[in-house]
Amino acid sequence: MGTLELKQSLTGHRGRVWSVCWHPKGASLASCGEDKRIIIWGLEGPKWVTKMILTEGHSRTIRELAWSPCGNYIASASFDATIAVWDKKSGQFECNTTLEGHENEVKSVSWSMSGQLLATCSRDKSVWVWEVNDDEYECAAVINAHTQDVKKVRWHPHEEILASASYDNTVKIFKEDAADSDWSCIATLSSHTSTVWSLSWDKIGNRIATCSDDETVKIWREYKPGNDMGIVTPNNESIWKCICTLSGYHTRTIYDIDWCKTTGLLVTACGDDIIRIFKEDSDCDPHQPNFTMVCSIDRAHDQDVNCIQWNPTIPGQLASASDDSLVKIWFYNE
């Protein structure tokens, strides 16, 4: 078993903290929550301190935020049905763009690896893809594939392929059709028996980990046309299969999951206040992998853990956000 060491508790938010996101270089962290503020944290010596507080971008809860891959922009998704894009052209982060169009609460936001596309999703059941050109944002697609509230959108780590998770219990994968530049659903991942709250791609991008209100984590694998396993792929499109289910570990809704791109470790944020880390067994069949729980921290927070994310550059470093109004910085030692 590894150990998860609490490095620091960051106070500053009033009320529930919904989301944390590391800067792509890993040296700063942004968080947001029901107080409608974004706090940017940075290191001063060994201590994390508040570097900036962004206010007045939203009139309701900020549900999630995302740094652009270049680190110069922050996009924030709010219950006020808008997405704000913050830049620091003036030296300070300022909200210079507000994206409107969703009918109600925006739940999630994600930048593609190139930074050229932004995806958003909402309780209005739709997923939107926005094209970014010189600080102009144009809606490239409104995808109405889900039948319920869409909770999360996440881009593939290398390609312009998008995955979304929903209250309708499914995950869907979307791609632009080269012929007519229409975005369409190319796969539906069905197996969870309740809301899928979050998802995370692995480093390569041929597997996805999902977490749900059904208290399980599932690992899905892509089988491309002509795969060695002889798995049939109708319409010449990849199909995704659930190759592993982690059940019996979590005792309440799992709100978030993150698959570390450097270590391959999986971490989950759960409504039972516990943070758990899973490691893939080294000698297992790639088509039927096993994951072992290598760490579990009871009362990691005093209330539900809403969000958890591995630092993109410092292996083992984690940030978590909770209903208890705290952001915590952790370090995992094997």
Partner 1 sequence: MSENLENINPKLYKKLDDREVTAEEQDDDVADEFDSREIFDIIRNINDPEHPLTLEELNVVEQNLIEVDNKKNKVDVKFTPTIPHCSMATLIGLSIRVQLLRALPARFKVSVEISPGTHVSEAAVNKQLADKERVAAALENSMLLGVINQCLAPKN
| Contact set with partner 1 (CB under 8 A) | 16, 34, 60-61, 63, 79, 104-105, 107, 123, 149, 151, 167, 194-195, 213, 252-253, 271-272, 302-304, 323-324
Q: Which residues contact 181 (CB under 8 A, 6 or more apart)?
A: 140
Beta carbon of residue 255, minimum distance to partner 1 (angstroms, whole number): 9
Reduce the DSSP state of residue 96 to 3 states and report it. Answer: strand
Evaluate whether 111 touches 130 at the Cβ level (below 8 Å). no
Cβ proximity to partner 1: between 63 and 221 the closer is 63
Other Cβ atoms less than 10 A from the Cβ of 25: the count is 11
Reduce the DSSP state of residue 330 to 3 states and report it. Answer: strand
Beta carbon of residue 94, minimum distance to partner 1 (angstroms, whole number): 25
Question: DSSP assignment, residue 225?
Answer: T
Cβ proximity to partner 1: between 191 and 325 the closer is 325
Cβ proximity to partner 1: between 92 and 148 the closer is 148
Which tokens is 159 given? 């390609």
Beta carbon of residue 176, minimum distance to partner 1 (angstroms, whole number): 29
- Find how far residue 63's CA is from the centre of its chain: 12
Distance, in Å, from the CA atom of 321 to the CA atom of 243, rounded to the nearest integer, reads 29
Distance, in Å, from the CA atom of 280 to the CA atom of 291, rounded to the nearest integer, reads 4
Cβ proximity to partner 1: between 105 and 258 the closer is 105
Q: Could you tell me how many residues make up the chain?
A: 334
Beta carbon of residue 92, minimum distance to partner 1 (angstroms, whole number): 28
Reduce the DSSP state of residue 235 to 3 states and report it. Answer: helix
Cβ proximity to partner 1: between 22 and 167 the closer is 167
Evaluate whether 26 touches 317 at the Cβ level (below 8 Å). yes
Beta carbon of residue 105, minimum distance to partner 1 (angstroms, whole number): 5
Beta carbon of residue 215, minimum distance to partner 1 (angstroms, whole number): 12
| Cα three-residue angle 62-51-271, rounded to 5 degrees | 40
| One-letter amino acid of 47 | K
Question: DSSP assignment, residue 234?
Answer: G
Cβ proximity to partner 1: between 55 and 104 the closer is 104
Distance, in Å, from the CA atom of 1 to the CA atom of 3, rounded to the nearest integer, reads 7
Cβ proximity to partner 1: between 94 and 272 the closer is 272
What one-character-per-residue DSSP string does 109-139 give?
EEE-TTSSEEEEEETTS-EEEEEEETTEEEE
Beta carbon of residue 151, minimum distance to partner 1 (angstroms, whole number): 8
